[in-house]
């Protein structure tokens, strides 16, 4: 399966001259919807219209639903995930733009909805890691998009409260600020069962926290064994998926 990351992180701030729009203040009970859902998601829209008065806008083409001025929902559909590749990094670009919008609107909480299917299951871990490490966003995997709406706001509220143990600041140039060796050790030692000796072995083998999180489970197992490899994957899922 292809890697969804590029070797150089996308800038979170973009050009100094770039003008990011401001998320509008929505009347209570209204939801701003990307027009791409107008025709091709009858089930999804019928569910949304049960709970919201819908307004369509293509101003934020990388945001699919804005159910309040504080919440941003971006959906990664099966088609988008299948088309993503090293040459067509549509997922990364979409997340980078969502990240920048969040930075412009400090009170907004983003949530990435991942359409989970037999075809997209193999890509989930890599995209989840991309969301968590580079863009500090929780991921909500669902098999039926129409079923996401009733509990969506509750899940976004949870995402806003759950700390991301993998979060690092980003510089204006787009790269994450330097994690100290101690920072990386402490994050890994937060995984149940992983002691300092295991954390040091992982960092020694893969070079950084990013390298550890992007490594294949079989490669992790070769360093700390199957049990701790599963514990690390479970820790990532528990802290960054809703």
Which CATH number belongs to the domain containing residue 232 in this structure?
1.10.150.20
Residues 197 and 111 reside in one and the same domain: no
Whole domain around residue 79: which residue ranges? Answer: 30-161
Per residue in 47-104, pLDDT (tens digit) is 778 778 889 988 888 998 888 878 888 999 999 999 887 777 889 999 999 988 888 8
Q: Which residues of 25-53 are buried (b: 16+ CB within 10 A; e: fewer)?
A: ebeeebbbbbeebeeebeebbebbeeebe
Separation of alpha carbons 84 and 89, rounded Å: 5
| Any domain includes 111 | yes
Supply the Cα-derived Rg of the chain in whole angstroms. 18
The larger pLDDT score, comparing residue 214 to residue 1, is at 214
Sheet holding 109-115, edge to edge: 53-56, 30-33, 65-68, 71-76, 109-115, 138-142
Q: How far is CA 50 from CA 29, 30, 107, 188, in A?
A: 10, 11, 26, 43
Query: 161, 195, 224: which is the final residue of a domain?
Result: 161
| Any domain includes 71 | yes
> Where do the DSSP E strands lie in the chain?
30-33, 53-56, 65-68, 71-76, 109-115, 138-142
Residues 97 and 154 reside in one and the same domain: yes
Residues 225 and 123 reside in one and the same domain: no
Lowest mean pLDDT across 44-48, 67-71, 164-168, 185-189? 164-168
Query: 161, 195, 217: which is the final residue of a domain?
Result: 161
Residues 152 and 69 reside in one and the same domain: yes
Mean pLDDT taken over the chain: 76
| Any domain includes 18 | no
Residues 196 and 88 reside in one and the same domain: no
Nearest to 173 by CA among 65, 14, 2: 14
Q: What is the pLDDT of residue 10?
A: 38
Q: How many domains does the chain have?
A: 2
| Any domain includes 157 | yes
Our measurement of the distance from residue 178's CA atom to the centroid of its chain's CA atoms, rounded to an integer in Å, reads 21
Residues 128 and 203 reside in one and the same domain: no
Greatest Cα-to-Cα distance within the chain, rounded to the nearest angstrom: 55
Residue 189 DSSP SS3: helix
- pLDDT at position 1 over 60: no
Residues 190 and 142 reside in one and the same domain: no
The larger pLDDT score, comparing residue 233 to residue 35, is at 35
Query: 107, 131, 161: which is the final residue of a domain?
Result: 161
Residues 145 and 193 reside in one and the same domain: no
Residues 52 and 150 reside in one and the same domain: yes
Q: Is the pTM of this model over 0.75?
A: no
| Any domain includes 216 | yes
| Any domain includes 174 | no
Within 13 Å, how many C-alpha atoms sit on residue 234's CB side?
10
Residues 220 and 133 reside in one and the same domain: no
Residues 126 and 88 reside in one and the same domain: yes
Q: Check which CATH number belongs to the domain holding 108 and give it.
A: 3.40.50.10130
pLDDT range class, residue 226, cuts 50, 70, 90: very high
Residues 144 and 191 reside in one and the same domain: no
């Amino acid at each position: 399966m292809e890697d969804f990351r590029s070797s150089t992180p996308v800038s979170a701030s973009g050009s100094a001259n770039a003008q990011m729009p401001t998320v509008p203040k929505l009347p209570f009970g209204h939801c701003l919807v990307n027009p791409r859902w107008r025709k091709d998601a009858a089930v999804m829209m019928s569910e949304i219209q049960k709970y919201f008065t819908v307004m369509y806008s293509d101003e934020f083409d990388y945001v699919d639903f804005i159910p309040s001025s504080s919440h941003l929902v971006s959906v990664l559909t099966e088609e988008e995930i299948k088309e993503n590749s090293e040459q067509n990094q549509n997922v990364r670009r979409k997340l980078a733009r969502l990240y920048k919008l969040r930075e412009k609107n400090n009170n907004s909480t983003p949530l990435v909805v991942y359409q989970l299917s037999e075809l997209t299951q193999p890509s989930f871990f890599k995209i989840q890691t991309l969301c968590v490490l580079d863009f500090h966003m929780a991921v909500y995997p669902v098999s039926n998009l129409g079923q996401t709406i009733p509990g969506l706001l509750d899940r976004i509220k949870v995402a806003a409260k759950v700390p991301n143990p993998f979060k690092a600041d980003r510089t204006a140039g787009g790269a994450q600020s330097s994690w100290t060796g101690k920072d990386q050790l402490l994050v890994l030692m937060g995984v149940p069962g992983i002691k300092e000796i295991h954390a040091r072995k992982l960092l020694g083998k893969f070079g950084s926290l990013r390298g550890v999180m992007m490594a294949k489970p079989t490669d992790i197992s070769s360093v700390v064994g199957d049990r701790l490899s599963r514990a690390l994957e479970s820790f990532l899922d528990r802290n960054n998926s809703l």
